[in-house]
Chains A and B, each alone.
Chain A
Amino acid sequence: MFASALMTPPPRKTARTPFSLLLPTWLVLGIFFLVPLVLMLGVSFAQRGVYGGLKPITDVAEHVRSGAFFSNYARSFQGIYLKIGWRSLWMALATTVLCVLVSFPIAYYLALLAPRRWKGMLLGLVVVPFWTSFLIRTYAWMFILRTEGLLNLALLGSGLVHHPVELLYTQTAVMIGLVYGELPFMILPLYASLEKLDRSLLEAASDLGAGQAQVFRRVTLPLTLPGLAAGAVLVFVPSLGQFVVSDLLGGARSMLLGNLIQNQFAVARNKPFGAALAFELTAAVLLLLLGYAALAKRRGAEELL
């Protein structure tokens, strides 16, 4: 993406590049972003040394010919790693779907039904929780979901269950945490889309005899697809790389790609393998976003930025 943007000819009416203004940003991102990424790409083709460092490559041609340069990538598509990859994909997808289901009604209410006086405040209230640290809010969920936590107390107290339900350190807990964290990123674009909806179209449809369900299915939904698509990308992409939520709320069986990468760097000390995994994740994210950009261009979907 970066390369293609570099190669596209600049627009006709251009002035001289204001180097003095841009240089600080370019330098920061060049030195501390692009260089590290390139470095890591290089590392991903290497192999782990004895003490967690890199195994020196004596013969580059041999390294390539023997297929050793690709071994990390090959390994990531095997056994447990493949399983974790699928799980990440599946969890991100489920998070997205759940977010849509929860967000659509509230976005609809906020955009079309809520009393005008309250609208601004209600919308603001969606955003406010996200001013507190994500980490702390996730810890709060640990407190709620523990075996002797609040939710279990409530469930036992109400007589719905007779034994505490194991919630924390399960995939359910991770799912709750993910949905909790990503919800506003779905509500806000949906709201924006619904807000722009021409209400007279809805009235026209119902005047012409469409039932409520039909109006929704044939007018409201198609017109809010851009917001839906934007929200889906905004929720899916970060969910795919998530590692804090699964680290705190998940157990061994809910490890995600993000945790796996973190593990390779912090615990297993296999940087090359971690680097390869990181690049696969990045590639997946970039492909998705490029696909979305292409779609947005063709169909006029919401731009994400």
Chain B
Amino acid sequence: LRAGRGLRRLLAVHSGLVYVFLYAPIVILVVFSFNAARQTAFWQGFTLDWYRRLLDNDPLLRAVRNSLVVAGATTAAAVALGTPAALALARLGFRGKRATRTLLYLPVIIPEVVLGAALLTFFGAVEMRLSLWTVVIAHVVFSVSYVARWCGRGSRGSTQPWKRRRATWGPAPSRPSGGSPCRSPCRGSWPAPCSSSPSRSTTT
């Protein structure tokens, strides 16, 4: 392709800068976890002290355990509940298929804060005490959508170059053109589409 040398170089530099932008916060976070200084961004020597303190910090460890419980329970529940639906959507044509699809889009496209607010209202109304399990339920609601939408199909959206391989479960029946809208070529279709937390989970 004929792109001027200068332009090519410019684009390469720009791309490099984008990678710096994407990775700098993560790298900095990791590097400074070894910094002896407590507050400042100045480097005051290497230490593993923070990690030792982490292991002594009970509330923090409990929080880690909670995260693991929520992630594990959500994954198990979402996969168990959503896989049969994924199978049906990928393999069968049936009455109500489009409605089911639309229903599955909704939790993913509706802003998280709305889903949270609605569930809070609901739990209040049925007098269910808020706990880790209500957190799990909230996660299952949108995770089950991901499972049911993505676990049954390998290649559909042309926006997903890494998904060109044929579906594990054979080619899915073709979809009526211009189906319902939804966010996400990428959300949830990342290399492990069945995992429970497509990046946006803020609890864990």
Q: Tell me whether A17 and B183 are in contact in the complex, defined as CB-CB below 8 angstroms, given that A36-B122, A237-B109 are known contacts.
A: no
Number of interface residues of B (CB under 8 A): 98
- Chain B 54-78 near chain A by CB (<8 Å), digits 1 or 0: 0000000000000000000000000
When distances are taken between beta carbons in the complex, the residues of chain B under 8 Å from A78 are none
A109 touches B15 (CB 8 A): yes
| Interface flag for A97 (CB, 8 Å) | no
When distances are taken between beta carbons in the complex, the residues of chain A under 8 Å from B45 are none
Q: How many Å from the CB of A68 to the closest CB on chain B?
A: 19
| Interface flag for B97 (CB, 8 Å) | yes
Q: Tell me whether A212 and B7 are in contact in the complex, defined as CB-CB below 8 angstroms, given that A10-B95, A28-B140 are known contacts.
A: yes
When distances are taken between beta carbons in the complex, the residues of chain A under 8 Å from B177 are 297
Number of interface residues of A (CB under 8 A): 113
| Interface flag for A253 (CB, 8 Å) | no
Bound Cα distance from A24 to B10, whole angstroms: 53
Q: Which of B1, B82, B102 is close to A112, meaning CB atoms less than 8 Å apart?
A: B1
Q: How many Å from the CB of A191 to the closest CB on chain B?
A: 7
When distances are taken between beta carbons in the complex, the residues of chain B under 8 Å from A161 are none
Bound Cα distance from A113 to B10, whole angstroms: 11
A278 touches B159 (CB 8 A): no
A127 touches B190 (CB 8 A): yes
B186 touches A127 (CB 8 A): yes
- Chain A 281-303 near chain B by CB (<8 Å), digits 1 or 0: 11001100110110011000011
| Interface flag for A137 (CB, 8 Å) | yes
Q: Tell me whether A40 and B121 are in contact in the complex, defined as CB-CB below 8 angstroms, given that A5-B99, A21-B87 are known contacts.
A: yes
| Interface flag for B160 (CB, 8 Å) | yes
Q: Tell me whether A293 and B180 are in contact in the complex, defined as CB-CB below 8 angstroms, given that A143-B29, A192-B161, A282-B111 are known contacts.
A: yes
Q: Which of B18, B101, B148 is close to A102, meaning CB atoms less than 8 Å apart?
A: B18
B176 touches A11 (CB 8 A): yes
- Chain A 12-38 near chain B by CB (<8 Å), digits 1 or 0: 011111101110111011001111110
Nearest A-chain residue to B122, judged by Cβ: A36
When distances are taken between beta carbons in the complex, the residues of chain B under 8 Å from A189 are 159, 185-186
Bound Cα distance from A43 to B118, whole angstroms: 10
Q: Which of B118, B161, B183 is close to A40, meaning CB atoms less than 8 Å apart?
A: B118
Among A59-67, A79-87, A128-136, A167-175, the stretch that binds chain B is A128-136
B11 touches A6 (CB 8 A): no
A132 touches B26 (CB 8 A): yes
When distances are taken between beta carbons in the complex, the residues of chain A under 8 Å from B85 are 21-22, 24-26
| Interface flag for A100 (CB, 8 Å) | no
Q: Which of A14, A139, A195 is close to B95, meaning CB atoms less than 8 Å apart?
A: A14
A135 touches B202 (CB 8 A): yes
When distances are taken between beta carbons in the complex, the residues of chain A under 8 Å from B93 are 11, 13-15
A16 touches B121 (CB 8 A): no
A105 touches B160 (CB 8 A): no
Q: Tell me whether A113 and B11 are in contact in the complex, defined as CB-CB below 8 angstroms, given that A192-B159, A212-B4 are known contacts.
A: yes
| Interface flag for B114 (CB, 8 Å) | yes
Q: How many Å from the CB of B28 to the closest CB on chain A?
A: 6
A144 touches B97 (CB 8 A): no
B23 touches A281 (CB 8 A): no
**Additional A-B contact list (13), CB under 8 Å, known A25-B100, A26-B100, A282-B114:** A1-B102, A32-B140, A36-B119, A43-B121, A105-B10, A123-B161, A131-B190, A192-B159, A192-B161, A199-B1, A227-B159, A286-B109, A304-B183
Q: Which 7 A-B pairs have the closest CB atoms?
A: A241-B111, A297-B178, A140-B25, A36-B122, A293-B181, A36-B118, A289-B181
15 A-B pairs whose Cβ atoms sit less than 8 Å apart in the complex: A1-B102, A10-B98, A16-B95, A28-B141, A39-B118, A39-B122, A40-B118, A105-B15, A129-B26, A133-B201, A144-B25, A183-B18, A184-B186, A230-B159, A304-B159
